[in-house]
Amino acid sequence: MEHKNIVIIGEQTPEVLEILSPKVLELLQQLHRTFNPQQLELLKRRKQRQQEIEERGDLSYDPEKLKVATDLFYKMSTNQQFDQFLTLPAYEYL
């Protein structure tokens, strides 16, 4: 099955064809166009971070960023409004 630059590899049963309708494939294509640049940037940053870890030989963080993240984590952990989101925003600062 092929749809405007999307190639489906594998057995194409009636169920697969029903799920991967042209409308769904169009949505997947749109999502890819929208988010792929961000995904590639995140993968690049992940690779750079891995290289830093390998060069230093440890998982240390920038002390200033670590302080900002731990302060944010503390503020959020004491605020009922953020009960379900304790670590996500703090982790983004690391």
Domain ranges of the chain: 1-58, 61-94
Residue 71 has pLDDT above 70, yes or no: yes
pLDDT (average), residues 65-82: 74
For 3, the 3-state DSSP assignment is strand
Task: For the full predicted model, state whether its pTM sits above 0.85.
Answer: no
Tens-digit pLDDT profile for residues 15-56? 988 898 889 999 989 999 999 999 999 999 999 988 888 888
Give 33-88 as a DSSP string.
HHHHHHHHHHHHHHHHHHHHHHHHTS----HHHHHHHHHHHHHHHT-GGGTT-SSH
Q: Within the chain, what is the greatest distance between any pair of CA atoms?
A: 56
pLDDT given for residue 80 in this prediction: 57
